[in-house]
Each structure stands twice: as structure tokens, then as C-alpha cells.
Amino acid sequence: MDDQTYMQLALKLAEQTLGQTSPNPVVGAVVVNKGQIVGMGAHLKRGEAHAEVIALNMAGEKAKDATLYVTLEPCSHYGKTPPCTNKIIDSGVRRVVIATLDPNENVYGKGVKCLKQAGIDVTVGILEKEAWDLNRFFFHYIQTKKPYVTLKAAMSLDGKTATKTGDSQWITSEQARRDVHQLRKQHDAILVGVGTVLKDNPSLTARYPDTGHHPIRIILDTHLLTPIDHHVITDRQAETWIFVGKNVTNREKARFNRFSQVKIIRLPTEKLELKDVLSYLGKKEMTSVFVEGGSEVHGSFLKTGLFNQVIIYIAPKLIGGRHAYTGFAGEGFSAMEDVADLQITDIEKIGSDIKIIAERKGV
Ligand SMILES: Nc1c(/N=C/[C@H](O)[C@H](O)[C@H](O)COP(=O)(O)O)[nH]c(=O)[nH]c1=O
Ligand SMILES: Nc1c(N[C@@H]2O[C@H](COP(=O)(O)O)[C@@H](O)[C@H]2O)[nH]c(=O)[nH]c1=O
Ligand SMILES: [Zn+2]
């Protein structure tokens, strides 16, 4: 088997841990000695052992003269765990194959240098694109200290997310709606506007399957209109953070005091600024946010450009109607030269629907 095959295995291991390692990256490692896999591992949770350590502990003596495949440059700094480079050097590994370097300034290039100085043969760049894509949340967060923003909308062939009366259940099929839960699981937070809370009384939990681990629910609610009897307040399934404008009084906030999982964050401006919401979330070490609408919220993310990727589910239905809901409301752009110019990175058929992923260029 060649380097790509073993790196593919390491990437597969890393991919399974998406959503559980935040604010750390996902990392997979495989140890191979004379064509035999003698160890493998993935980083499972922040503060716990790194992937290389797990794989090398499994290999034990067999790590001697072996090759280590790892999807991210081994760390050489003391974070919550000791440097992987020391572990690798002590284990007697002869060669290290790395998919991508780590943009964390504590690490970038230092790990490789450390290993080379210890006489270890290092190869970098095997399946680099795949490894980069897998950790795009972490790489964006570590460089901007803001969460990676995914906008998700489900719409008809003619781009409507609800009929003119607001009816939207359902547009996409059960299969597509379940697929959304996989995406929810991969993100640290799910964000909606209070309009969606009032209209759908959503749970905004990641339920298929329900592992009990749910992203934090973020509600943009300038005037604190979220009803106290709605699921996001009463279901005790996940934390709910409500961002409100400066005019919301302490008395209005106090109504929610008895719900320990509800946090109300009052921003200093009358209207909520998305940049303030995102920097607050970044400071709370949130590396990714999954924005599920509604159309006004999507419109604001579009207008401000504060998003990284868009995931659109399209159902083979036609809703029509000049006043039906569009996926991205708000002001929109006047001139084509100002519109958001994206790159389609993936198209997938999901049951009777299609799922399109598009990324902003160059962010
Ligand atoms: N109406 C549709 C959607 N509607 C999405 C709305 O955000 C709706 O409030 C939430 O999906 C409900 O969340 P929860 O399941 O209670 O956690 N989303 C979809 O993917 N397809 C559709 O047809
Ligand atoms: N998870 C991971 C790495 N994560 C790197 O180390 C930093 C976290 O260090 P710590 O706080 O000690 O866990 C994180 O920001 C990233 O740069 N490195 C690795 O060699 N292997 C791993 O499996
Ligand atoms: Zn490490």
C-alpha cells in the first residue's frame, strides 16, 4: 500500500471525530511497520491525547523504524498536552508523512523542523487538499479568532423557502432533513433569528442519532421576543444563547433567570451587529456556526459578507408567488458586480432533493 492509502485511512479516522474536538482540529494518525498497520488513532476531545500519541502507544515497540502517517503537522509546543514531536522522536519512528502543516503560529513549520533535526525523514503534502478541507473550521478560526460560518437554506426549485402564507412544511424530504442533522453535529453552534423561533418553534438539536451532545443554540432577538414556553427555552436539551439589543431591560431579561441553560447577551448597540455576535462567539472559542435562517438573517449575513460557505437543499417543487419567502431576504444587492460570487464545491443527490455546497472564494 502506498502513502496515499495510509493517509486516506488517517483522514477517515479524523473525519469521524468532526464536531467533538473543538476548539482543536480533527487529527488522524496511522503507524505502519513493514507493510503492517501497527497503530492508529484520532484526537477525540480537547485536552485529551493527540492522535499521534494514541497511535504510537498502540504501536509500542513496533513503532521502531516504522512510518507515522498524520493528517496535521505534529505539535511541538506544550498546550494542554506535551509535544507530539518528543513522543515521535522517543518512539524510534524512522519516517513521518504529514498531510498539511498547522497554521497555529505555535506550530507552523516548527514540528517538521524538530523532526528533521532528530534525523527523521519527513514528507509533507500527501492529500493536503483533503486534510485542509477537513479542518477548514479550525484553520479559519485559528487565523481569524472568529467562527467559520455556514449558511443553510432549504428551498423549492424556484428558490422559495415558504409559501406566501409562510407555510414551509415540508419542502425537502425526510432524508434531506436528516442530512441537516449531520451538519448540525459538525458545528459548535446553530444560529437562527427570532422569526424562525416564532414561526416554527424549532428544537434546533442534532437528533439523528441523538447522542445527547448538541450544539449551542444561538437566537438573534433584538427585542427579546422569544416566547418563554418555546422548545429552545424549556426543553433543557442544549444551551440557548439569546443576543439582544441594548434597549432590552434587566426586568425583561430576568424573566428567563429560572432557565439555567438560557443565557441572554445584551450587545451595546440598539440593532444587533453580526460582527459583534461573531467576535463574542470567537472569544468563547466557537470555531463554527451553522446558520439556519430565516431569510432576514440569511440576508444580513449575505449583505455583510460574514459567511464562509452556503449549503442549499433544493426540492423538486415549485411554490411560486411574488410574495413567497425567498432564501435570502434583507436588502440584497443592486448591481451584479456587488453580489456574492461563490464557487460550487459539491453537488449531491439526497433522495428526491439535491444538496449544493458553495464556498466564498479566497476566504
Ligand atoms: N421547512 C424546512 C426546513 N425548515 C427549517 C427551519 O429552520 C425549521 O425551523 C427547523 O428545521 C426545525 O428544526 P427542528 O427540526 O425542530 O430542530 N428545513 C429543511 O431542511 N427542509 C424544510 O423543508
Ligand atoms: N489535535 C492535535 C493537534 N492540535 C494542535 O495543538 C493545539 C492544541 O494543543 P493542546 O491544547 O495541547 O491539545 C491545537 O491548537 C493545534 O494547533 N496537534 C497534533 O499534533 N495532534 C493532534 O491530535
Ligand atoms: Zn500534538
Please give the pLDDT value at position 103: 87
At 329, the amino acid letter reads A
Give yes or no for residue 173 CB within 6 A of ligand 1.
Answer: no
- Topology of the domain comprising 3-138: Cytidine Deaminase; domain 2 (3.40.140)
Rg of the Cα atoms in the chain: 23
Architecture of domain 146-360: 3-Layer(aba) Sandwich (3.40)
For residues 327 and 160, give the distance between their C-alpha atoms in angstroms, rounded to a whole number.
6
Atom of ligand 2 nearest to the CA of 78: 12
Cα 202 to middle of ligand 1, angstroms: 7
Cα 287 to middle of ligand 2, angstroms: 14
**Residue 289 corresponds to which cell in the numbers above?**
456556526
pLDDT tens series, the chain, 363 aa: 899 999 999 999 999 999 999 999 999 999 999 999 999 999 999 999 999 999 999 999 999 999 999 999 999 998 888 999 999 999 999 999 999 999 888 789 999 999 999 999 999 999 999 999 999 999 999 999 999 999 999 999 999 999 999 999 999 999 999 999 999 999 999 999 999 999 999 999 999 888 888 999 999 999 999 999 999 999 999 999 999 999 999 999 999 999 999 999 999 999 999 999 999 999 999 999 999 999 999 999 999 999 999 999 999 999 999 999 999 999 999 999 999 999 999 999 999 999 999 999 765
Please give the pLDDT value at position 106: 79
Phi-psi category of residue 318: left, alpha or beta, with phi > 0 → left and psi -120 to 50 → alpha: beta
Cα 14 to middle of ligand 3, angstroms: 14
Say which ligand is closest to the CA of 107.
Answer: 2
For residues 169 and 221, give the distance between their C-alpha atoms in angstroms, rounded to a whole number.
23
Ligand 2-lining residues (CB < 6 angstroms): 24-25, 27, 43, 50-52, 72, 74-75, 79-81, 84, 102, 104, 107
Please give the pLDDT value at position 327: 96
Give SS3 for 42: strand
At 327, the amino acid letter reads G
- Provide the b/e sequence for 245-258 (b: ≥16 CB within 10 Å): beebeeeebeebee
Please give the pLDDT value at position 80: 87
Domain boundaries, given as residue ranges, for the chain:
3-138, 146-360
pTM above 0.90, yes or no: yes
Same fold, 3-138 and 146-360: no
Please give the pLDDT value at position 105: 82
Q: Is the ipTM of this structure higher than 0.85?
A: yes
Please give the pLDDT value at position 363: 55
Please give the pLDDT value at position 189: 98
List residues, by chain if needed, whose CB lies under 5 Å from ion ligand 3: 50, 75, 84
